[in-house]
Amino acid sequence: MRYRLVIFDWDGTLMDSAARIVDCMQAASRDAGWGELSADAVRNIIGLGLPEAIATLCPGIDPDRAELLRSRYAWHFVEGNDTPMRFFAGVEAGVAGLRGRDGQRLAVATGKSRRGLDRVFRDSDSGSWFHASRTADETRSKPHPLMLEELLEELEVAVEEAVMVGDTEYDLEMARAIGMDRVAVTWGVHAPERLAASQPAFTAEAVPELFNWLQGR
The reported pLDDT for the residue numbered 1 is 74
Domain end call among 80, 114, 129: 80
CA 46 to chain centre: 8
Question: Do the beta carbons of residue 106 and residue 131 sit within 8 Å?
Answer: yes
With a CB cutoff of 8 Å and minimum separation 6, the contacts of 172 are 164, 166, 182, 184, 195, 198, 200
Rounded Cα distance, 215 and 179, in Å: 21
The boundaries of the domain holding residue 133 are 5-16+86-214
- Regarding whether 93 and 62 lie in a shared domain, the answer is no
- Tell me the per-residue pLDDT of 116-160, one tens digit each, with 9 for 90 and over: 999 999 999 999 999 999 999 999 999 999 999 999 999 999 999
Average pLDDT over residues 92-117: 95
Question: Do the beta carbons of residue 40 and residue 189 sit within 8 Å?
Answer: no
Domain end call among 63, 80, 97: 80
The reported pLDDT for the residue numbered 150 is 98
pTM over 0.85: yes
The H or E element containing residue 15 is strand 15-16
Rounded Cα distance, 143 and 162, in Å: 17
- Tell me the per-residue pLDDT of 177-199, one tens digit each, with 9 for 90 and over: 999 999 999 999 999 999 999 99
Average pLDDT over residues 56-64: 96
Average pLDDT over residues 208-217: 93
Percent pLDDT > 70 in the chain is 100
Query: How many structural domains comprise the chain?
Result: 2
Rounded Cα distance, 29 and 185, in Å: 29
Question: Do the beta carbons of residue 183 and residue 202 sit within 8 Å?
Answer: yes
- Regarding whether 113 and 102 lie in a shared domain, the answer is yes
- Regarding whether 128 and 93 lie in a shared domain, the answer is yes
Question: Do the beta carbons of residue 186 and residue 207 sit within 8 Å?
Answer: no
Rounded Cα distance, 15 and 58, in Å: 26
pLDDT reading at 216 higher than 90: no
- Tell me the per-residue pLDDT of 7-43, one tens digit each, with 9 for 90 and over: 999 999 999 999 999 999 999 999 999 999 999 999 9
Residue 63 maps to which CATH number?
1.10.150.240
Rounded Cα distance, 56 and 48, in Å: 9
